[in-house]
Structure 1
Amino acid sequence: MRHVFNLGYNNLSLDLKTCMLYLGIFPEDSEIIKDDLMNRWIAEGFITKKLFSGPEEIAESYFNELINKNMIQVARMDDCGHVLSCRVHDVMLEFIMLKAAEENFVTIINDLQNTRGSLKARRLSLQVRNSGCNNHAREDMDVSQVRSLNFWGPAECMPSLSKFRLVRVVHLDVNDSEDDQCDMSSFCKFFQLKYLRIRGLGCRKLPRQLRSLQHLETLEIHPGKTTTMKIDATKLPPTLWHLVVPSTVKMIGAMESMTALRTLALGKLDVVHPKDAEKIIKGLGELANLRELKLSLSHSSSQIAQVVGDLLPSSLGRLSNLQSLIIGGSFAIHEDALTRWHTPPRHLRRLHALVCPFSTFPTGWITQLDSLRSLEIKVVSLPRDGAEVLARLTLLVHLRLHVDKHAPEEGVVIHRAAFPHLKEFWFAYQVPCLMFEAGAMPGLQSLTVQCYASAERQADGVLDGIEHLGSLKLCRVDIAVFGGIGLQAAFVPKKEVQRWNKQDLQAAFRMAINKHPGSLDSRIRPVCSGVGPSDYYTF
């Protein structure tokens, strides 16, 4: 087997050999996120510049080549139908580690006892499962030339960071450290640092000196579960390409000076005053190189929501390279704000904007986005041709459609040959009114329906035509019961109508699912959601 692997390895280009050996840094059975791996390759200097191709494009071509040559295996796909992550087979990983040790490419220490590779380390991978360990690497190991420090394990087993002065890549994945407070001042001395990813450490703030790291391109911080952290954008280096922080991190300060950013994922953008909101949202429009933007907006007044809704479209209109936009948070921007985003980039592949509702379906606006592969949208009133308009987005792989108040009385009909590439469909409306013609959604694998327990009964059945979804494997139904009192107690209808009850609705869904010729993985469940219909979309 090693002879076969050797033949494949020897036929690789020099750059691709280096990228392949780098996979030996990760622990066995690791799920390796593609974008993270590519950012590491770039930070390590493995990507040779080529005419008319940026480093991300070259790195992705290397990743795809390793997939095509079966050197790595696809682990998961993302919502756009692209490879999200990969794994390395155990036998292949063993070959990679042997090669890496032979070429002094990486030194691996398991539980700080079993060492593979040179004691004069260039890239160090510490993989610790046993908490009963020393708090530093081997005393006889020379770490003065280490370019890459990678650690997985308990906080007490981390080596002293002060020894690693020439490091370019730092990855710290720490467990069992919720009560520990990380002193991040050591990172400010890593003047060649290009990549910093921290997960699990109890860090409450970043030191101001971090701005002095003029080579830093990737900063990703996920503090411990019980740790809240605040980051001031004005204190970050302007060289950053990728900034990723979760909802436990509050982001403050304007970001207009960070013009090199390609990826900006903010778990919580904390806004207190309307003037702050104005400065932050306007600043986003200066990030002309941005390709991926994820915002989770948090505020305390309708005035701030108005400011965000008024300014966000014009800022988005200046981001001509944007490929992915996700807007979430604890409040809704006023209706139809995004329709003033007059020229959305045609190569936008992902738009998730449930907090930016549309009063009705924005036909002319939405059909401009013919490159969309993933869409999450909310409309107050869905017109009769709403599903047909959406079906013009033929590349869609993932669709989540929330209808707030009105849908066609005859139901939402998915016509023959509509949505040829769709694999995942979520539909939320008070009435279970989906219908499928033969030949509709031929590739659909996952269907999720959310409705009210006491919805208006427009027909005797539900999910008419589900048997035509030949590729369907998974069906989920969530039936909202508000505060356990049912829909009738939540509001008084304008006229007397026939309604479902929870038991009959569950039975109708079960009957529909049983018509499907395949063995579906199905689940039908009542969900208690607040005390009234306004809480429905939170479950």
Structure 2
Amino acid sequence: MMQVADFFKKSSLVHVHNLQLLTPKKAWELFCKKVFRSELGGRCPPELEALSKEIVQKFKQLPLAIVAIGGLLSTKAKTMMEWKKVSQNLSLELGRNTHLTSLTKILSLSYDGLPHYLKPCILYFGIYPEEYSINCKRLTRQWIAEGFVKSDERRTSQQVAEEYLSELIQRSLVQVSEVNFDGKADTCQVHDILRDVIVRKMKDLSFCHCVHEDSESLAVGKTRRLSITTSPNSMLQSSSISHFRAIHVFEKGGSLENFMSKLCSKSRILKVLDIEGTSLNHIPKNLGSLFHLRYINLRDTKIQALPKSVGELHNLETLDLRDTLVHEIPSDINKLRKLQHLLAFHRNYEAKYSLLGFTSGVQMEKGIKNLTSLQQLYFVEVNHGGVDLIQEMKMLRQLRKLGLRHVRREHGNAISAAVVEMQHLEDLNITTIGEDETINLNFVSSPPQLQNLHLKAKLDTLPDWIPKLEYLVEMKLAISKLKNDPLQSLKNLPNLLKFSLWDDAYDGEILHFQNGGFLKLKRLNLTRLNRVNLILIEKGTLPSLEYLTMDRIPQLKEVPSGIKHLDSLKEIYFTDMPAEFSESIDPYKGKYYWIIKHVPLVFIRHWIGPNFLDYEIQTIRSSSKDS
């Protein structure tokens, strides 16, 4: 049997390596030692302490940078005015001061020492604005579209790209900004000093031209990439836009329609177009003229429709329509045999709460069977295409992620038959059209590589294949109305890290966490379980649990006493629980406060409306785990 570690190495995941970075205390000690070693007894004067700590904060991830900036400040007068100058002009100092120049030289050598395949990948960080946290998947898909990454017999191009990013993280050139619950990097960035080095390299190599308010006129000649952080309409007077292979727009204000019109008319070699988060509300009809386009990111724009000419983008690999107003995909898209990632949904958090959630997908036409390269497809509203559309999905054998919405009772067998053909499937998300719509998901066999499973559907009984999911990491059940306690069937899932029961996923009164169950679970979410009145947590269960949420369980009047056994807990969230429940854990007069007093952070939240995320929060802090 394949070992779990080997499986994750094979999967398209980037895991964070725990680098030995300086703690804030160690960084401060190093700074003071370097700056004040020969005077003041190695101590920072009180009047400079706040500014000094601000400077250290900028460089705490790079010990080498602290040494360099410390060397610079050790030569300066120990006055507030002098140090403010240095703090405000660090970027300029990088180029002209010998102490910091040595740092840039070292970082340049780090770049020069990279394998050839990583050099364009690290340069790509200079395309993004300073201090921009970059979504890892967004970045790696752009590398692929640029041709920096190639697949091989064992790995997809996405898996290879994730390995490249992991290597840059291991080399301490890339910092992880945010981490998912399972240890995977979600967003990343490079240090400001390294970014300055990268920007210089980009300019020297004609890798990318960055356009901002103070920049020079639009570059011509060899530069093949364009990064725009001001209004792109400033480029309309230039005829040189046609030679760019990649264009990234980060400006949120101003109209982009004229720019897009010119782009579709003039550009012929464009491979990457990223206009995420801009004010764009219309796509030109001649989008299809961008024949070489491999990646287009329209996420979080105001567009409402795609032109039919999208079907002429025969080289397109990624189409990102998340958080747009697009509700229907033209049937012409079914011509795109190279398409790997079709990501489309809209979330409306201002809508009245629904058990079916805030997310709507897109409608697609029959012919989807031609998209045989698809690796990700979500969310599709299958009530439009019905059983015929779902049956065509059997041909999508490369799928890693599938999201279906508006599923009806009669779709169950077709979904089961299609999923069985998807041997690479890692993520499955299904939501029914109504909370009383029972579906049958009795797969002949369980998807062998499934890691994430979200089922928002009435099931009555838990499908037999779910407890057999050896690699399942995250699971969410909602509106399932299960008659029997699902914990008994799921407690032995060997790799489950996050588990959620929402909106009457269980229709019984007692949830029982038995000794020896859920050994790796880190996050548990129990929300809106209207009939549950008792939660039993035995000693020896949930030994790794770090985050616990109990949300709107109206019949649960007492805090589960077994929480006292959960020694790994870091945070608990109680939301809109019964009054007697909340009163019982008051740190001054609550009779059950002793159950939760070992937990460092306990939050009691009350919804105050009108929006879904409007909460009043009370925080209960424990001074230590031994208190």
TM-score, normalising length: structure 2: 0.70
Distance in structure 2 (CA, Å) of the matches to 1:333 and 1:38:
40
Contact kept? 1:119, 1:141, Cα under 8 Å: no
Query: Could you say what secondary structure the match of 1:462 adopts?
Result: coil
Structure 1 position 280 matched with structure 2 position 389:
yes
How big is the shift at 1:44?
Answer: 0.3
Match of residue 296 from structure 2: 196
Match of residue 365 from structure 2: 253
How big is the shift at 1:147?
Answer: 0.5
Query: What's the C-alpha RMSD, in Å, of the aligned pairs?
Result: 2.8
The aligned runs of 1:41-52 (5 Å cut-off) are 41-52=143-154
Q: Tell me: CA distance 1:238–1:467, structure 2 relative to 1, closer, same or farther (3 Å).
A: same
Contact kept? 2:409, 2:438, Cα under 8 Å: no
Contact kept? 1:124, 1:150, Cα under 8 Å: yes
Distance in structure 2 (CA, Å) of the matches to 1:239 and 1:49:
14
Query: Could you say what secondary structure the match of 1:360 adopts?
Result: coil
Q: Tell me: CA distance 1:320–1:222, structure 2 relative to 1, closer, same or farther (3 Å).
A: closer
Q: Tell me: CA distance 1:138–1:10, structure 2 relative to 1, closer, same or farther (3 Å).
A: farther
The residue identity in structure 2 corresponding to 1:265 is Y
Q: Highest CA radius of gyration, 1 or 2?
A: 2
How big is the shift at 1:322?
Answer: 0.7
Distance in structure 1 (CA, Å) of the matches to 2:593 and 2:131:
36
The residue identity in structure 2 corresponding to 1:170 is L
Structure 1 position 166 matched with structure 2 position 275:
no
Match of residue 570 from structure 2: 473
Deviations 1:338-373 (A, max 9, x none): 2x1121222110110122x332344x4222101100
How big is the shift at 1:9?
Answer: 1.6
Contact kept? 2:411, 2:439, Cα under 8 Å: no
Higher RCO (CA < 8 A, seq sep 6+) = 1
The residue identity in structure 1 corresponding to 2:174 is I
Match of residue 375 from structure 1: 475
Q: Tell me: CA distance 1:420–1:193, structure 2 relative to 1, closer, same or farther (3 Å).
A: same
Match of residue 54 from structure 1: 156
Contact kept? 2:512, 2:537, Cα under 8 Å: yes
Q: Tell me: CA distance 1:441–1:194, structure 2 relative to 1, closer, same or farther (3 Å).
A: same
The residue identity in structure 2 corresponding to 1:52 is R
- 1:232 paired residue among 309, 327, 330: 330
How big is the shift at 1:404?
Answer: 4.6
Distance in structure 2 (CA, Å) of the matches to 1:381 and 1:174:
41
The residue identity in structure 2 corresponding to 1:277 is G
Distance in structure 1 (CA, Å) of the matches to 2:178 and 2:162:
16
Distance in structure 1 (CA, Å) of the matches to 2:543 and 2:109:
41
- 1:463 paired residue among 560, 567, 587: 560
The residue identity in structure 1 corresponding to 2:404 is L
The structure carrying a bigger helix percent of its residues is 2
Q: Tell me: CA distance 1:199–1:354, structure 2 relative to 1, closer, same or farther (3 Å).
A: closer
The aligned runs of 1:91-240 (5 Å cut-off) are 91-111=193-213, 113-115=214-216, 119-120=220-221, 121-128=223-230, 133=231, 135-137=233-235, 139=237, 142-153=240-251, 154-156=253-255, 159=259, 160-161=262-263, 162-176=265-279, 181-222=281-322, 227-236=325-334, 237-240=336-339
Distance in structure 1 (CA, Å) of the matches to 2:270 and 2:382:
33
Match of residue 263 from structure 1: 376
Distance in structure 1 (CA, Å) of the matches to 2:301 and 2:507:
47
Match of residue 343 from structure 1: 445
Distance in structure 1 (CA, Å) of the matches to 2:312 and 2:549:
48
Contact kept? 1:233, 1:251, Cα under 8 Å: no
How big is the shift at 1:509?
Answer: 5.1
Query: Could you say what secondary structure the match of 1:296 adopts?
Result: strand
Distance in structure 2 (CA, Å) of the matches to 1:114 and 1:308:
56
Contact kept? 1:108, 1:115, Cα under 8 Å: no
Match of residue 289 from structure 1: 398
Q: Tell me: CA distance 1:84–1:328, structure 2 relative to 1, closer, same or farther (3 Å).
A: farther
Q: Tell me: CA distance 1:394–1:52, structure 2 relative to 1, closer, same or farther (3 Å).
A: closer
Identity %: 23
Deviations 1:391-439 (A, max 9, x none): 211211110124556436xx43324453232221112322352233344
Query: Could you say what secondary structure the match of 1:124 adopts?
Result: strand
Q: Tell me: CA distance 1:503–1:444, structure 2 relative to 1, closer, same or farther (3 Å).
A: same
Q: Tell me: CA distance 1:264–1:233, structure 2 relative to 1, closer, same or farther (3 Å).
A: farther
Query: Could you say what secondary structure the match of 1:435 adopts?
Result: strand
The residue identity in structure 2 corresponding to 1:281 is I
How big is the shift at 1:215?
Answer: 0.7
Match of residue 87 from structure 1: 189
TM-score, normalising length: structure 1: 0.81
Distance in structure 2 (CA, Å) of the matches to 1:473 and 1:394:
22
Match of residue 78 from structure 1: 180
Deviations 1:159-182 (A, max 9, x none): 3313322110111124345xxx41
The residue identity in structure 1 corresponding to 2:402 is L
The aligned runs of 1:513-524 (5 Å cut-off) are 515-524=596-605
The residue identity in structure 2 corresponding to 1:278 is V
Q: Tell me: CA distance 1:281–1:119, structure 2 relative to 1, closer, same or farther (3 Å).
A: same
Q: Which runs of 5+ in 1 are unaligned?
A: 299-304, 481-501, 530-539
The residue identity in structure 1 corresponding to 2:138 is D
Deviations 1:306-330 (A, max 9, x none): 2222322112122111111011354
The aligned runs of 1:383-402 (5 Å cut-off) are 383=484, 386-402=486-502
Deviations 1:480-523 (A, max 9, x none): 7xxxxxxxxxxxxxxxxxxxxx3213223554566331321412
The residue identity in structure 1 corresponding to 2:575 is D
Distance in structure 2 (CA, Å) of the matches to 1:389 and 1:222:
35
- 1:413 paired residue among 505, 509, 512: 512
Contact kept? 1:349, 1:372, Cα under 8 Å: yes
Structure 1 position 307 matched with structure 2 position 388:
no
Moved more, 442-451 or 100-109: 442-451
Structure 1 position 26 matched with structure 2 position 128:
yes
Distance in structure 1 (CA, Å) of the matches to 2:115 and 2:232:
40
Distance in structure 2 (CA, Å) of the matches to 1:140 and 1:208:
29
Q: Tell me: CA distance 1:418–1:116, structure 2 relative to 1, closer, same or farther (3 Å).
A: farther
Distance in structure 2 (CA, Å) of the matches to 1:176 and 1:124:
18
How big is the shift at 1:99?
Answer: 1.4
The residue identity in structure 1 corresponding to 2:599 is G
Q: Tell me: CA distance 1:174–1:462, structure 2 relative to 1, closer, same or farther (3 Å).
A: closer
Distance in structure 2 (CA, Å) of the matches to 1:155 and 1:463:
54
Q: Tell me: CA distance 1:233–1:426, structure 2 relative to 1, closer, same or farther (3 Å).
A: farther
Match of residue 436 from structure 1: 537
Distance in structure 1 (CA, Å) of the matches to 2:538 and 2:415:
39
Distance in structure 2 (CA, Å) of the matches to 1:116 and 1:462:
65
Q: Which runs of 5+ in 2 are unaligned?
A: 1-102, 347-359, 611-627
Deviations 1:421-474 (A, max 9, x none): 222111232235223334432332221113443x275xxx32212233233232
Contact kept? 1:108, 1:116, Cα under 8 Å: no
Q: Tell me: CA distance 1:223–1:82, structure 2 relative to 1, closer, same or farther (3 Å).
A: closer
Contact kept? 1:245, 1:265, Cα under 8 Å: yes
Distance in structure 2 (CA, Å) of the matches to 1:334 and 1:240:
32
Q: Tell me: CA distance 1:9–1:235, structure 2 relative to 1, closer, same or farther (3 Å).
A: closer
How big is the shift at 1:219?
Answer: 0.7
